[in-house]
Amino acid sequence: MKKTFKKIASQLHLWLGVSSGLVVFIVALTGSILVFEDELEPVIYAKFHLVEAPKDQSPLPLDNLRAAVASAYPKQRITRIAIEPYADRTIIFGLVKGKKEKDVLSVAVNPYTAEITGTRHENESFFHIVLQLHRYLCMEDTGKLITGVSCVMFIVIMITGLILWWPNRKQTKQRLTIKWNAKFKRLNWDLHAVFGFYVLPFTFLIALTGLVWSYKWVNIMIFLTFDGKPQQKREAPANVSFTDSSTSTVLAQVFTETNRQLTYPGRIQVAIPESDSLSVTVSKENETASVDNVVDFLYFDQTDGKLISKRLYDNETTGMKVRRLVLPIHSGSIWGWPTKVLALIVALITATLPVTGVVIWVGRKFKKKETVAKRNTSPIARRAKATVS
């Protein structure tokens, strides 16, 4: 019974691994690149993100910067503004034509001079392409289906791999250490089995959280489990004022009030709705929080800049707080640099597992063919063949 169970686990591990290996390799490798996206983005695109901050000069009001961008791109609509909490960073405006929210033109503005320092289409940026490859293999819905199925396969592969790895008393040391001076075949097996065992808890968690982006029902289950009901739809409230024209300092008022209400440092995102009847949504990420992705939301009247309502992280449901932890757990950013470095190492090792696994599989197939060939060329086999002839 035990041998039959292990044989089934072995076959599942083998064929699911062969079927999903390439996808797992791509997803793990691109995931390792995305771990330090926030840190690498201003390095790769330094001219787009960085400016020289004058010593005794404050940034210009956001309204002045918006006016400069609107003047330069009169046929496009400003939908969002990203403000980093650093003096040497540009302010990024997101623009779209009509309702094409997917084709966003990002415009970087020097906050001290209102000079446009760079532009780019987000669909063409390096990390956007890497993310599309990571989630969808750059094949949209078809790729999403493939990565989702491969993710489920990989979870089964990890479970069956643990069953196959599980040692008896004599094998414990062998299964926990790599014999670096061994021949290639043994070394390759150790790299696959031993490294696979050590990263399994982390890879399992990463794969499990990755299902949230592949299947809606996983997201629904989070809220049903922790809140007892589906996720509530969130919408920006309506404007309170009914005047036809907005004040010239509305964004400055919004920015000032946001920092007054939320005193901690963090990235601010301003979402400007297409309709004049809806309020402006401002989100601020709390960089002093114990975990990553702690965000508070404020809603402002886009006509006069007055605060309408708040949606603070402390008041969120348990389901929403758990859902917000999914991305930090998946990306490794949950506790900052230590967990990011761990996630990078885990992702790189995970990317090697399909490679070492294929080498093991090919080696076994070659060995079987070699064994059959030796049997056919043995003296007994030749005599038997001659007798039949």
CB-facing half-sphere around the CA of 112: CA atoms within 13 A: 13
How far is it, in rounded angstroms, from Cα 137 to Cα 142? Answer: 9
Q: pLDDT tens digits for 6-58?
A: 899 999 999 999 999 999 999 999 999 999 999 999 999 999 999 999 988 99
pLDDT value of residue 380: 55
- Residue range 88-106: mean pLDDT, rounded: 88
Question: What tens digit of pLDDT does each residue of 249-261 get?
Answer: 999 999 999 999 9
- The string of pLDDT tens digits covering residues 221-243 is 999 999 999 998 888 898 887 66
| Residues written for the chain | 389
pLDDT averaged over every residue in the chain:
92
Distance of alpha carbon 270 from alpha carbon 248, whole angstroms: 17
What is the rounded CA–CA span in Å between residue 218 and residue 226?
13
Tell me, rounded to whole angstroms, the distance of Cα 202 from its chain centroid: 15
List the 307-311 sheet strands across, edge first: 116-121, 105-109, 91-96, 77-83, 268-271, 280-285, 295-300, 307-311
Return d(Cα 295, Cα 302) in angstroms, integer: 21
The answer to which of 235-244, 263-272, 292-301, 342-351 has the lowest mean pLDDT is: 235-244
Report CA-CA distances (Å) from 59 to 49, 62, 88, 110. Answer: 15, 8, 10, 9
Q: Amino acid letter at 320?
A: M
* Contact of 197 with 175, CB cutoff 8 Å: yes
Q: In 215-296, where does DSSP find H-type helix? A: 216-227, 250-261
pLDDT at 385 over 90: no
Per-residue pLDDT tens over the stretch 329-381:
999 999 999 999 999 999 999 999 999 999 999 988 776 665 555 655 556 55
Phi, psi of 221 (to 5 degrees): -65, -30
User: CB–CB of 270/282 below 8 Å?
Assistant: yes
Nearest alpha carbon to residue 367 among 185, 175, 188, 171: 185
Indicate if the pLDDT at residue 130 is higher than 70.
Answer: yes
| pLDDT over 70 at 209, yes or no | yes
Please give the average per-residue pLDDT across 70-86, as a whole number. Answer: 96
Which carries the bigger pLDDT value, residue 242 or residue 387? Answer: 242
